[in-house]
Structure 1
Amino acid sequence: MLNTIYAPRCGLANTSLSLMKGITLSIPNCRMDEEIQDEFYWEYCFVCYRRDKDKEKMFASRISRALPRATSSVTRSASLRTPLGTSFTKRWNSDDAEKKVKGPVIGIDLGTTNSAVAVMEGQTAKIIENSEGARTTPSVVAFAQDGERLVGVSAKRQAVVNPENTLFATKRLIGRKFTDAEVQRDIKEVPYKIVQHTNGDAWVSARGEKYSPSQIGGFVLQKMKETAEAYLTKTVQNAVVTVPAYFNDSQRQATKDAGQIAGLNVLRVVNEPTAAALAYGLEKDEDKVIAVYDLGGGTFDISVLEIQKGVFEVKSTNGDTHLGGEDFDIHLVRHLVQQFKKDSGIDLSGDRMAIQRIREAAEKAKIELSSSMQTDINLPFITADSSGPKHINQKLSRSQLEKLVDPLITRTIEPVRKALKDANLTAKDIQEVILVGGMTRMPKVSESVKSIFGRDPAKSVNPDEAVAMGAAIQGGVLAGNVTDVLLLDVTPLSLGIETLGGVFTRLINRNTTIPTKKSQIFSTAADFQTAVEIKVYQGERELVRDNKMLGNFQLVGIPPAHRGVPQIEVTFDIDADAIVHVHAKDKSTNKDHSITIASGSGLSDQEIQNMVDDSERYAESDKERKAAIEAANRSDSVLNDTEKALNEFADKLDKTEADGIREKITALREFCRQEPVWRRYCYCC
């Protein structure tokens, strides 16, 4: 069915790379001079044929940068070639995945504001509705006074009366240090406490307990898992989880930790714009270059992709991991607070309950102004002074809102330009623009996109659901149920190490197709140096102090020699999840050391296990509460039916018997009053 395909000048002699189900890239023995091969930039084409009913269809695509640019033969180890081929085969061969993945694979969009879950039904991705009947679930976790943990709609509903213990938008904190400028800004804007963990990470506090953002994300993922299990009526273990394309290694690793805490095996971490592109292009036959403009609740991403008959190749990506709907809400809240202070002389910024009410009203007004030109914001009894109660009663027009948030929309333009430049394209080369994320429903955002690309954005994709559906499609690929789909994503930021003078030396440039591997030889900076410290950074600045440090480790036992003599080979390996693995080796002694970057701090294995145990305990507690609710509902029904029957047939009952029934009704009601869990759910009291 499939013809053999080959690439004659790639530098990998007699190697086969399994790219997708039924498609193998076969590389014959190349007789080029070794030196020329090593300098050759590995960029190749593959062409194969597949039968579709009685017709032969050409299935062609270019895979560029799938292997890194080789260094010179002096610095490049020949042993690198085999691991590259092997790892590429393992990561992209869906036949292998089919053997390993058992049971359904769900796709989860873990959003800043809302989350969604989808699953493949045949060759179509389906969004699963939650227990409330909604297709998205608020990414909100709350802790009630009695210790109950609430997730989703129930948590959001009680936020006004419990603002200090209602945690939202914690995705903006995931993988971040407490001292980060973005975290310090958020501390001033949220009603709950953001605290510093012992390792310097930003955590949150509720009811006197500290929680990592990964743990809060894990609670939301667990809710998504339960939603899927209720629909599928079977246990779900495997998932594909999405992250913003511009997330760094720390944030990606923290997201995988969240999945582990939720009891999920995260098969793949997929970039949100790429997932949306999968949902858009799965059943489309035409070749296109598209841009995905993703402005969600907390992050902004722009990705440029080339779609060619089942091959989704990301050309470039850019973005801002701290720009989204939450920032729009913050700007509007500030405006309302300032206007109220101007009108009444009262500053509400220190009143957490009032701010939470204003925040909810601001979010509602923002949504309404996407479809209407004006809205009213009415908040009675927002506060009181000696003269009596005070109310907020303001009119807000669409033009006022657009003026308030214009600086935020403008911030999305520069990343778009950078992404186009990195892809070596102009705005005119983009054939379709896909809008993803709730904020793209704002008319001003859509107008801005049109002005950048010179065309109206496509309306064929649901901005709230496309990412989860794309994640489900990738899950189907990994499970072997979806064939003829190949996803080639990129690393969003450059990776390198610190060299003499605090210089950032890149080993892997941004927008390199992953998975990828790159090695480079370094040496000592001082005479008779016996150990070196490898400091790993991610970013685009020339000095390490301006970039994000991912981690560090030491290579010891280097034989004493003059500086510049020892040869230390540093290898970076980025897997398909864009997680970084670093390996350093002294070539003279073959001593080596390697690490998988886990954010340079992050969660230890023990911390993750403790959180998994906590999550399981909560799950048990949730089951008990569910049983209590069901029992309370039954009690309510029994009491009502009994009282109704007693009143209807009182004249036919013996007085002693009727009094005995009334005593039992009273006793059950008294029991409900004394039991706190029952008191909450039993309406017979």
Structure 2
Amino acid sequence: MPAPTLAVDFGTSNTAAAILEGGAIRRLEIEPGAETLPTAVFFPARGDMRIGSDAARALIAGDEGRYMRALKSVLGTPLFHDPRLIAGRRRTLAEIVTAFLATLKQRAEAQTGHRFTRVLSGRPVHFHTSAPDRDQQAEADLRACYNAAGFDTVDFLFEPEAAAIASRETQGLGLIVDIGGGTSDFTVFRSGGGTEILASHGIRLGGTDFDHAISMDHAMPLLGLGGQLRRTLGEGLLPVPRGIYVDLSTWAMIPFLYARETERLVEDMVKHAVDPRALGRLATVITDQLGHDLAFTVEAGKIAANDGTARAAIDMAMIETGLAAPISRTSLNGALSASREPLTTAIRQTLFSACIDPMAVETVVLVGGSSLLSLVQDEARAACPAARLHRSEVFTAVVDGLALATA
């Protein structure tokens, strides 16, 4: 009997795998006790690559090596094929994604006893907004990685359409709002005796972009963003350059800051800083390679503020004892205010493409971890005022639908 098709939701932040077994969805534990694993890798100075939670544990333990996350966000870009020195040898991100998928395949085979040669992978509606050539390249890049990982047949399905297939309990007219780590995707569907896809749309905006905005607004000013530098020659002041802070608050770019060139740049900034203490904190982050630690605490602060935790804060004590950036739901929404208009426009565009009156939508199904943000839910309610909000299995709805689609 041939092996089933492996369903894989390869996400910017998390990855899941499943198969259809006897007509039922079987989610696979790619790491013990978990149906999803972080899409992250760690290359130790010596030894084999680690993935998922093992990678995060190595980072937290302070092991010598290179941690990388949000690899999906660079698909379709030249950076994906640019060799970089990582853990003692030059590697491309394409090779790293291939190694991650090969490990995923090996673990799925060990758990099920099957040898998988076919995969149905989710993909966003658009990897890159308004850039069809780059979008096509991104799918080609991901397909090549699956092939190199050992899959002979690779098919793709839009992630929000997979989530719609998984929403079998939703009757009538529904809208999927799938806010992932790197993209926001939407599908209008009609359910009842099957699932009819009416329209899909997506934009390159997701949880990592939200983290970036929060970090730039709350954390980076404590590292000198917005400060001033004295001129080497002459009078007057210059603004502290933003570029290093942009990269430091972008998950995919953090590893590339750990270079002597960056250290020299920051050392020069400290020498000329009007506020050398703040720039000194930036120097600590770069020299001690604390960028990912900072990104994790920004993410934790976001979750706490969204949950309404009293006196929530972004804990930056790893940089300086007692250092923290207060964050509230109000300041969180302020930092993310620029995301409201693109989200609302994308929802309306999806409804327009489906020729559906917003008032006719009966259910909005929330998918993806960032769909739990109050900002996202507010915009979904405003766009479809007559609909009820339904929280799906936010982290596994896509892989569930992919598994069903393999039938």
2:301 corresponds to 1:365 = yes
Specify the code of the residue in structure 2 equivalent to 1:336: A
2:219 corresponds to 1:332 = no
Q: Which has the higher helix share?
A: 2
| Partner residue, 1:105 | 5
Looking at structure 1, the residues matched to 7 and 152 of structure 2 have their Cα atoms a distance apart, in angstroms, of: 12
Aligned-residue RMSD, C-alpha: 2.6
1:253 to 132, 140, 149: 140
Structure 1 residues 401, 310: closer, same or farther in 2, change over 3 A? same
Specify the code of the residue in structure 1 equivalent to 2:123: V
Structure 1 residues 236, 429: closer, same or farther in 2, change over 3 A? same
| Partner residue, 1:168 | 69
| Partner residue, 1:125 | 25
Correspondence 1:228-247 to 2 at 5 A: 228-247=108-127
Looking at structure 1, the residues matched to 361 and 299 of structure 2 have their Cα atoms a distance apart, in angstroms, of: 33
| Partner residue, 2:203 | 320
Looking at structure 2, the residues matched to 219 and 428 of structure 1 have their Cα atoms a distance apart, in angstroms, of: 46
Q: Is the deviation greater in 216-225 or in 104-113?
A: 216-225
Structure 1 residues 417, 462: closer, same or farther in 2, change over 3 A? same
1:216 to 96, 101, 107: 96
2:341 corresponds to 1:410 = yes
**Structure with greater Cα Rg:** 1
> Shift of the alpha carbon at 1:391?
3.8
- Give 3-state SS (helix, strand or coil) of 2:404's partner: helix
Q: Is the deviation greater in 129-138 or in 222-231?
A: 222-231
Indicate if the aligned counterparts of 2:316 and 2:325 stay in contact, CA closer than 8 A.
no
Structure 1 residues 212, 454: closer, same or farther in 2, change over 3 A? farther
Deviations 1:303-355, CA, capped at 9 Å, x for gaps: 22234522433x3222213x111111112222212135489832244533232
Structure 1 residues 134, 280: closer, same or farther in 2, change over 3 A? same
Structure 1 residues 164, 328: closer, same or farther in 2, change over 3 A? farther
| Partner residue, 1:306 | 190
> Shift of the alpha carbon at 1:254?
1.6
> Shift of the alpha carbon at 1:445?
1.2
May I ask how many residue pairs the two structures share in their alignment?
344
> Shift of the alpha carbon at 1:214?
3.6
Structure 1 residues 426, 163: closer, same or farther in 2, change over 3 A? farther
Looking at structure 2, the residues matched to 294 and 204 of structure 1 have their Cα atoms a distance apart, in angstroms, of: 33
Structure 1 residues 203, 474: closer, same or farther in 2, change over 3 A? farther
| Partner residue, 1:511 | none
Indicate if the aligned counterparts of 1:340 and 1:392 stay in contact, CA closer than 8 A.
no
2:156 to 249, 257, 269: 269
Looking at structure 2, the residues matched to 163 and 244 of structure 1 have their Cα atoms a distance apart, in angstroms, of: 34
1:382 to 316, 319, 323: 319
| Partner residue, 1:494 | none
Q: Is the deviation greater in 430-439 or in 456-465?
A: 456-465
Deviations 1:249-276, CA, capped at 9 Å, x for gaps: 2212222112112212344211100110
Looking at structure 1, the residues matched to 282 and 51 of structure 2 have their Cα atoms a distance apart, in angstroms, of: 27
Deviations 1:477-508, CA, capped at 9 Å, x for gaps: 2xxxxxxxxxxxxxxxxxxxxxxxxxxxxxxx
> Shift of the alpha carbon at 1:163?
9.0
Deviations 1:618-659, CA, capped at 9 Å, x for gaps: xxxxxxxxxxxxxxxxxxxxxxxxxxxxxxxxxxxxxxxxxx
> Shift of the alpha carbon at 1:380?
2.7
Indicate if the aligned counterparts of 1:241 and 1:266 stay in contact, CA closer than 8 A.
no
Structure 1 residues 441, 337: closer, same or farther in 2, change over 3 A? same
1:459 to 386, 390, 395: 390
> Shift of the alpha carbon at 1:168?
1.0
Correspondence 1:464-483 to 2 at 5 A: 464-475=395-406, 477=407
- Give 3-state SS (helix, strand or coil) of 1:318's partner: strand
2:56 corresponds to 1:207 = no
- Give 3-state SS (helix, strand or coil) of 2:313's partner: strand
Specify the code of the residue in structure 2 equivalent to 1:297: G
1:345 to 268, 274, 277: 277
> Shift of the alpha carbon at 1:149?
0.8
Specify the code of the residue in structure 2 equivalent to 1:175: G
Indicate if the aligned counterparts of 1:163 and 1:356 stay in contact, CA closer than 8 A.
no
2:78 corresponds to 1:177 = yes
Looking at structure 1, the residues matched to 193 and 331 of structure 2 have their Cα atoms a distance apart, in angstroms, of: 45
Looking at structure 2, the residues matched to 163 and 420 of structure 1 have their Cα atoms a distance apart, in angstroms, of: 49
Looking at structure 2, the residues matched to 458 and 204 of structure 1 have their Cα atoms a distance apart, in angstroms, of: 45
Deviations 1:440-475, CA, capped at 9 Å, x for gaps: 011221111111111455425211100011111112
Deviations 1:266-289, CA, capped at 9 Å, x for gaps: 4421110011011112x66x5x33
Q: Which has the higher contact order (CA 8 A, sep 6+)?
A: 2
| TM-score in terms of structure 1 length | 0.47
> Shift of the alpha carbon at 1:429?
2.5
Indicate if the aligned counterparts of 1:446 and 1:457 stay in contact, CA closer than 8 A.
no
Structure 1 residues 392, 234: closer, same or farther in 2, change over 3 A? same
Structure 1 residues 326, 317: closer, same or farther in 2, change over 3 A? same
Structure 1 residues 409, 270: closer, same or farther in 2, change over 3 A? same
Looking at structure 1, the residues matched to 98 and 327 of structure 2 have their Cα atoms a distance apart, in angstroms, of: 37
Indicate if the aligned counterparts of 1:349 and 1:355 stay in contact, CA closer than 8 A.
no
> Shift of the alpha carbon at 1:110?
0.2
| Partner residue, 1:279 | 166
Structure 1 residues 330, 145: closer, same or farther in 2, change over 3 A? same
Give unmatched runs, 5+ long, in structure 2: 128-134, 228-274
Structure 1 residues 415, 460: closer, same or farther in 2, change over 3 A? closer
| Partner residue, 1:152 | 52
Looking at structure 2, the residues matched to 215 and 473 of structure 1 have their Cα atoms a distance apart, in angstroms, of: 30
Specify the code of the residue in structure 2 equivalent to 1:362: V
Give unmatched runs, 5+ long, in structure 1: 1-100, 179-193, 384-389, 478-685
Structure 1 residues 415, 203: closer, same or farther in 2, change over 3 A? farther
Looking at structure 1, the residues matched to 329 and 183 of structure 2 have their Cα atoms a distance apart, in angstroms, of: 23
| Partner residue, 2:233 | none
- Give 3-state SS (helix, strand or coil) of 1:289's partner: strand
| TM-score in terms of structure 2 length | 0.77
Q: Which has the higher strand share?
A: 1
Indicate if the aligned counterparts of 2:15 and 2:37 stay in contact, CA closer than 8 A.
yes
